[in-house]
Amino acid sequence: MTARLMVRGFDIRKSWLDEAAQHDIIAALRPVLRAAPLMRPVTPRGRPMSVRMTAAGRLGWITDASGYRYAAQHPQGTQWPAIPEPVLRIWSDLVSPERMPDCCLINFYGPEARMGLHQDKDEGDFSWPVLSVSLGDDGLFRMGGPRRGGKTESLWLGSGDVVVMGGEARLAYHGIDRIRPGSSRLLPKGGRLNLTLRVVDQGAMEQQPT
Ligand code: MD6
Ligand code: FE
């Protein structure tokens, strides 16, 4: 059973995906991860992130010494694979069938991984929401407001949960404090996968690093 929760403008759909739908997505992600292997990104300040990352779609979000930006190629020099159909379907159902996302960022969390509080602000168009899909182990999701240092609220995201971050929440700070290793059996080797779908837009191919 799915349930809807609104927290600080974050539209949270608990158990939006049933187990069969989750397995379908994992199967569809397997060739994507073969074509575009997960890598450990390094922040512009030279700190390796604890999550591993890759992408699908026209553009992928990357970070390295030259900054955060969207790029048309995986750092290995290949185009990003297409965003799998069952993932696009979630976007059509919850956001819009009129405009498909340009990027599906794929984050993998091992037992020690976390994601510090951040805004998603490298896109050229904030009128579209960012949609996130959680798969595998539970992750403790922290939600704040438009300014760093404001009040926050946390909620465990489980496998199959979907979050739509739009409207007043589009530029809200958010992050993952920790995961609960071993809480799901969806991924044979454990861990948490998070997919975020974004409309990037603007002459994004020429985008300057931030
Ligand atoms: C995560 N999520 O759940 C990290 N970004 O692993 C995000 O950073 C995120 O959940 C934009 C919109 C929704 C999100
Ligand atoms: Fe984010």
Residue 209 forms part of a structural domain: no
Residue 207 forms part of a structural domain: no
pLDDT at 1: 87
Which residue lies with its CA nearest to atom 10 of ligand 1? 132
Confidence of residue 40 (pLDDT cuts 50, 70, 90): very high
**Interval 154-161 mean pLDDT:** 98
Is a pLDDT exceeding 80 seen at residue 208? Answer: no
Residue 50 forms part of a structural domain: yes
Percent of the chain at pLDDT above 70? 96
Q: In the chain, at which residue ranges do the beta strands (DSSP E only) sit?
A: 3-7, 10-14, 52-57, 60-64, 67-71, 103-109, 115-118, 130-136, 138-143, 153-157, 162-165, 174-180, 192-198
Q: What is the CATH number of the domain that holds 109?
A: 2.60.120.590
Judged by its nearest atom, the ligand closest to the C-alpha of residue 12 is 1
**Interval 165-194 mean pLDDT:** 98
Residue 210 forms part of a structural domain: no
Confidence of residue 201 (pLDDT cuts 50, 70, 90): confident
Residue 55 forms part of a structural domain: yes
Residue 208 forms part of a structural domain: no
Confidence of residue 75 (pLDDT cuts 50, 70, 90): very high
Residue 22 forms part of a structural domain: yes
Please list every protein residue whose CB sits less than 6 Å from any atom of ligand 1: 107, 115, 120, 130, 132, 139, 141, 163, 165, 174, 176, 194, 196
Residue 59 forms part of a structural domain: yes
Judged by its nearest atom, the ligand closest to the C-alpha of residue 115 is 1
Tally the domains of the chain. Answer: 1
Domain span holding position 43: 3-202
Is a pLDDT exceeding 90 seen at residue 159? Answer: yes
